[in-house]
Amino acid sequence: MPAPGSNGYLYQFYNCRILRDHNLVADDLWVRDGKILNPEKIFFDEKCSADIKIDCEGQIVCPGFIDVQINGAFGVDFSLNTDDVEEGVRKVAKGLLAHGVTSFCPTIVTSPVDVYQKVIPRIKKCNGSADGAGILGLHLEGPFINKEKKGAHEEQFIRAFPSGIQDVLQTYGCLDSAAIVTLAPELDNSELVIKELCARGVHVSLGHSMANLLQGEEAISHGACFITHLFNAMLPFHHRDPHLVGLLASQRIPTDKCIYYGLIADGIHTHPAALRIAHSVHPSGLVLVTDAISAMGLPSGVHHIGSQKIEICGKRAVIAGTNTLCGSIATMNLCVKHLNKEANCGVVNSLESATLHPASMLGITNSKGTLDYNTDADFLILDYNLDVQATYIAGEKVWDVTALKDCMDMEILT
């Protein structure tokens, strides 16, 4: 059987509830040549029926998940495995399919200059396929951050902006593969850097910062649009100065601009009450991120992020010998389920936080993050518990739950 949507074949996915226009609607999904089609044109213009029909058995069909902050997984660290960059990215991209991620931004944490200049040119933007999730561009998280809020980032490699955008270019080497740059807006010359990055098509995120609310508002006015892992590695909310957290309720943000913020809903980084507060204040800006590290998908023990040793203790990943969190080991599908349960925000809002919202932040909703007509046929089939049953990219099934069952059966046999 040909892959759905390939070779001109028309596929009809029926008996499903489709996430579309902020609702779960009983409808059919029509796919051909990797795109989602308008059935009216099929019925009235082409006057044809589907070549192949697929029964979804009443399950949910939603866009593929998008992870805009992931440091690595399955033993691969994008900031550490610099000798075989391409193979590491391929391994992660392939493994993410089982967790519903169809597109992602490999994230490079604060690193030596030679790491950036070795890694950045070798990670290219690409569409997803059976070989793995697509790459939307790099998320460069540092090194232009505040040492006071470095988190797990290594202080010796943190830099400032004494010469503005030239410091950025000299550090990264090039920005061709960059989708997001996280920086601290209180750094000197950050205004000029933010404006220049935005002019080059790079999305600026505020994070690892000691900024007050005014500094955050000014950064937004200069073009920043995202907040990196809200509540983490920033000053906490205070009633006289809510700092970057206050951007969610700021009245100085233009009404036509949405401020997006990443949340790590892994049950460790963000308390359920904080999830509920953020969602209640600004639901349309919530973007789920895993912030996953190389130990995601690996057993407990000592692993690495950058050049530092980290230790997995239950569901926590900490710098070895400390209690400092250094990223999560959660998968995106688990974050979606956790948000739905703990924030009590409903299935639609939970799913859109991993689909529509990250796509909107990146400005790619014309192709990703929705099931609108003429968009890429990257979608998932989920059961009522929001567990991934099948992953499709460009209309092709690239993973289904039988692969997981087969793997479990093999482990039992061995």
Cα separation values, 24 from 5, 13, 50, 259, 406, Å: 23, 15, 23, 25, 31
Indicate the CATH number of 64-362 among 3.40.50.300, 3.20.20.140, 3.30.1490.20, 1.10.630.10: 3.20.20.140
On the question of pLDDT at 3 being above 60, the answer is no
Residue 62 phi, psi dihedral angles, 5° rounding = -135, 165
Confirm or deny that 325 is annotated as ligand binding: yes
For the chain, what percent of residues have pLDDT higher than 70? 94
On the question of pLDDT at 48 being above 90, the answer is no
On the question of pLDDT at 412 being above 80, the answer is no
> Which of these ranges, 61-70, 320-329, 334-343, has the smallest mean pLDDT?
320-329
Confirm or deny that 233 is annotated as ligand binding: yes
Q: What pLDDT score was predicted for residue 306?
A: 58
Residues 228-247: tens digit of each pLDDT: 999 999 999 999 999 999 99
Domains 11-62+371-410 and 64-362 share a fold: no
Work out the number of other CB atoms within 10 angstroms of the CB of residue 189.
16
Confirm or deny that 200 is annotated as ligand binding: no
Fold exhibited by the domain 11-62+371-410:
Urease, subunit C; domain 1 (2.30.40)
Confirm or deny that 141 is annotated as ligand binding: yes
Q: What is the average pLDDT across 137-154?
A: 95
Q: What is the average pLDDT across 118-123?
A: 96
Residues 76-97: tens digit of each pLDDT: 999 988 889 999 999 999 999 9
Tokens 């002019």 identify what position? 199
> Which of these ranges, 83-87, 314-318, 410-414, has the smallest mean pLDDT?
410-414
Question: Which ranges in 256-414 belong to alpha helices (H)?
Answer: 272-281, 332-342, 347-352, 356-362, 401-413
Confirm or deny that 222 is annotated as ligand binding: no
pLDDT band at 414 (very low <50, low <70, confident <90, very high): very low
Which amino acid, 124? K
Extents of the domains making up the chain:
11-62+371-410, 64-362
Confirm or deny that 152 is annotated as ligand binding: yes
Mean pLDDT, the chain, whole residue set: 92
**Which candidate in 67, 167, 291, 376 is catalytic?**
291
Is 291 noted as a catalytic residue in this protein? Answer: yes
Confirm or deny that 342 is annotated as ligand binding: no
